């Protein structure tokens, strides 16, 4: 196997130094976790290793020979694969075609049967599960697309496999099978880099932990010789504000008591009665979904991704038609079109790059996307305020959203959707991809919005998040929604319901 290391890598975007003087080796047979706050430079550094960016200075060395990748293709030929935190598949193509495009499936493009068989084999070898390879990518859930990306990369037998926040869209089970796959690759001599904001999995899955802060590599430690608290300290550096137990996990020792709101909903802001959708071949159709969210309430819909949550969010957004049932906002029945155009409903979409922002547009423009009138000066002023309030790491309000780090893009969407005084917010996976401090911050903002009377429907695959935020929980499985439960009730039965066992 090739020995891969980097030496004194620097990278600037204009005058902004995103990576400063980083040297690091990637050891065959080892998982190296790369951690740091949103905007620390993790993705930028790995894009350099993977040949997507040329470093301003510094070298990548293969077996001690400096190389200069002119493209990702050259890095790939040298055995380096990266799986991005934003999904990069071609969505009109099938799973099999995407695998073939990567050169990892069958070469004979014209024989559909061969293509499918090769794809089946490739998927089987990975040990991860995917739907029928004849499916088109746009029909897949975010988690399934992420798995496909990983399988595509693994099929090339890389010497170095870089996974940029792969688990942020995977269920615990899927993550477990990914970690198994990583272990197997390591035993075959692959070096793996795992970028993640989830410290428990960082400690469970990695051999060494590298911490970045402000573009610099702060420390590299054997996982067995450090602990979460000291990793968090390294990530935050000289800014000890907020370092406490809550940074390491959100799970409150005792479920919060929101009993009042949970048991006595006020006049519902949002009410769905017996809502159904027509079957499509991607996910289970919604079947007779009924629930309410009152003003000032945070109601969670929890479940394993792919059980209809995306359909529910899209239906409430007015993108997905319903085949029956009633949706009411503040007591008024809503047509699909009325939902689409409703000015007072905020949406935090599951797939932020596809549905949440326009990468080419500036932060200011993205923040103004939801406003009816547009005045350049006030838009700029608002954007500056949002950047400060949500601590979006950006060089200025004029920076294109596509240049922001993943977590900062998410914060920008939150600023837009929570910042415009909406009375109802549909939040799908609002903290996906956020570092611990930012996730904690978003939780505070959601709570504050609820306290000021906003009704919030939280759609999340993270039970801890649901428990930390909401008084009432529904579980979604196979397109059906459980009855409304209090946190206490759901702690006992949510697991079984999510697995379809109850
Ligand atoms: N193409 C680009 N043009 C300008 N600035 C960029 C570009 N890509 C990244 N940056 C900036 O470089 C810094 C590091 O970004 P990077 O994406 O590497 O962070 P990250 O550690 O991966 O964060 P996250 O955890 O949010 O994904 C950020 O401040 C970001 O705005
Ligand atoms: Mg990143």
CATH code of the domain containing 439: 3.40.50.300
pLDDT digits (tens, 9 = 90+) for 259-287: 344 445 457 999 999 999 998 766 789 99
404 CB less than 6 Å from ligand 1?
A: yes
Cα(6) to centroid of ligand 2, in Å?
19
pLDDT of residue 105: 45
Question: Domain boundary residue among 383, 399, 420?
Answer: 420
pLDDT of residue 250: 32
Q: How many CB atoms lie within 10 A of CB 84?
A: 21
Supply 45's token pair. 């550094």
Q: Which residue has the tokens 């073939």?
A: 100
Ligand nearest to the CA of 84: 2
44 CB less than 6 Å from ligand 1?
A: yes
Please indicate, yes or no, whether residues 405 and 463 belong to a single structural domain of this protein: no
pLDDT of residue 43: 95
List of E strands, 165-223: 191-195, 208-213, 216-222
Supply 31's token pair. 């998982």
Please indicate, yes or no, whether residues 385 and 401 belong to a single structural domain of this protein: yes
Pocket test for ligand 1, best of 18, 22, 84, 360 (most atoms within 8 A of CB): 18
423 CB less than 6 Å from ligand 1?
A: no
Question: Domain boundary residue among 194, 214, 245?
Answer: 245
Cα(13) to centroid of ligand 1, in Å?
9
Q: How far apart are the first and last CA of the chain?
A: 48
Please indicate, yes or no, whether residues 445 and 406 belong to a single structural domain of this protein: no
Residues lower than pLDDT 50 in the chain: 104-106, 240-263, 265
pLDDT of residue 433: 82
Please indicate, yes or no, whether residues 297 and 402 belong to a single structural domain of this protein: no
Q: How many CB atoms lie within 10 A of CB 341?
A: 11
Cα(20) to centroid of ligand 1, in Å?
13
Residue 246 region by backbone torsions, left for phi larger than 0, else alpha for psi between -120 and 50, else beta: alpha
pLDDT of residue 143: 80
Please indicate, yes or no, whether residues 74 and 157 belong to a single structural domain of this protein: yes
Please indicate, yes or no, whether residues 139 and 273 belong to a single structural domain of this protein: no
Please indicate, yes or no, whether residues 78 and 145 belong to a single structural domain of this protein: yes
The domain tally of the chain equals: 3
Please indicate, yes or no, whether residues 161 and 266 belong to a single structural domain of this protein: no
User: Considering the domain boundaries, does residue 257 fall inside one?
Assistant: no
pLDDT of residue 249: 37
**Four-CA torsion 344, 345, 351, 357, nearest 10 degrees:** 0
User: Which pTM value belongs to this model?
Assistant: 0.79
Distances (CA, A) of 76 to 19, 98, 144, 462: 22, 16, 23, 34
pLDDT of residue 281: 62
347 CB less than 6 Å from ligand 1?
A: no
* CA torsion through residues 269, 275, 277, 283, sign: positive
Q: For ligand 1, atom 29, which residue shows the shortest CA distance? A: 39
User: Considering the domain boundaries, does residue 398 fall inside one?
Assistant: yes
Q: How many CA atoms does the CB half-sphere of 60 hold within 13 Å?
A: 27
Please indicate, yes or no, whether residues 384 and 467 belong to a single structural domain of this protein: no
Range of the domain at 399: 354-420
Contacts of range 316-323, beta carbons closer than 8 Å, 24 or more positions apart: 316/270, 316/272, 316/345, 316/347, 316/426, 316/457, 317/345, 317/347, 317/349, 317/426, 318/342, 320/277, 321/277, 321/278, 322/275, 322/276, 322/277, 322/286, 323/276, 323/277, 323/278, 323/285
Question: Domain boundary residue among 212, 245, 278?
Answer: 245
Ligand nearest to the CA of 47: 1
User: Considering the domain boundaries, does residue 484 fall inside one?
Assistant: yes
pLDDT digits (tens, 9 = 90+) for 389-448: 988 999 999 999 999 998 899 999 999 998 887 889 999 999 988 888 889 889 999 999
User: Considering the domain boundaries, does residue 198 fall inside one?
Assistant: yes
Please indicate, yes or no, whether residues 412 and 488 belong to a single structural domain of this protein: no
Please indicate, yes or no, whether residues 228 and 361 belong to a single structural domain of this protein: no
Please indicate, yes or no, whether residues 165 and 305 belong to a single structural domain of this protein: no
């Amino acid at each position: 196997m090739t020995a891969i290391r980097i030496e004194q890598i620097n990278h600037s975007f204009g005058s902004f130094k995103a990576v400063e003087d980083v040297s690091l080796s990637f050891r065959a047979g080892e998982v190296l976790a790369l951690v740091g706050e949103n905007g620390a430079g993790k993705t930028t550094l790995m894009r350099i290793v993977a040949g997507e960016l040329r470093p301003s200075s510094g070298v990548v060395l293969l077996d001690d020979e400096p190389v200069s990748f002119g493209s990702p293709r050259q890095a790939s030929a040298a055995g380096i694969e990266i799986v991005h935190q934003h999904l990069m598949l071609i969505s009109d193509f099938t799973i099999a075609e995407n695998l073939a495009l990567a050169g990892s499936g069958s070469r004979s493009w014209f024989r559909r049967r061969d293509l499918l068989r090769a794809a089946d084999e490739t998927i089987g070898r990975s040990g991860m599960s995917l739907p029928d390879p004849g499916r088109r990518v746009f029909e897949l859930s975010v988690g399934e697309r992420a798995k496909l990306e990983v399988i595509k990369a693994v099929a090339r037998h890389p010497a170095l496999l870089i996974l940029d926040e792969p688990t942020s869209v995977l269920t615990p089970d899927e993550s477990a099978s990914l970690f198994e796959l990583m272990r197997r690759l390591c035993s075959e001599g692959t070096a793996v880099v795992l970028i993640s904001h989830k410290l428990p999995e960082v400690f469970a899955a990695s051999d060494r932990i590298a911490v970045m802060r402000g573009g610099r590599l702060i420390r590299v430690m054997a996982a067995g010789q450090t602990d979460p608290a000291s990793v968090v300290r390294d990530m935050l550096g000289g800014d000890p504000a907020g370092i406490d137990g809550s940074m390491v996990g959100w799970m409150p020792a005792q479920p919060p008591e929101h009993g009042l709101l949970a048991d006595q909903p006020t006049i519902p802001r949002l009410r769905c009665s017996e809502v159904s959708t027509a079957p499509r071949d991607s996910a289970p159709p919604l079947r007779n979904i009924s629930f309410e969210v009152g003003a000032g309430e945070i109601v969670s819909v929890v479940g394993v991704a792919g059980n209809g949550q995306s359909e529910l969010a899209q239906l409430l957004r007015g993108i997905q038609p319903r085949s029956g049932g009633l949706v009411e906002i503040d007591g008024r029945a809503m047509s699909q079109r009325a939902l689409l155009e409703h000015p007072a409903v905020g949406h935090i979409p599951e797939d932020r790059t596809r549905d949440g922002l326009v990468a080419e547009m500036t932060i200011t423009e993205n923040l103004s996307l939801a406003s009816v009138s547009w005045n350049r000066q006030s838009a700029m002023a608002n954007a500056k305020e949002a950047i400060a309030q949500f601590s979006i790491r950006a060089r200025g309000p004029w920076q294109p959203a596509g240049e922001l780090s993943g977590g900062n893009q998410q914060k920008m969407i939150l600023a837009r959707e929570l910042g415009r005084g909406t009375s109802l917010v549909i939040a799908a996976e609002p903290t996906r991809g956020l570092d611990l401090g930012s996730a904690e911050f978003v939780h505070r903002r959601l709570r504050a919005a609820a306290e000021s009377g906003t009704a919030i429907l939280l759609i999340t695959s993270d039970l801890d998040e649901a428990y930390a935020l909401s008084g009432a929980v529904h579980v979604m499985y196979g397109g059906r929604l459980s009855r409304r439960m209090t946190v206490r009730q759901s702690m006992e039965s949510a697991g079984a319901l999510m697995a379809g066992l109850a």
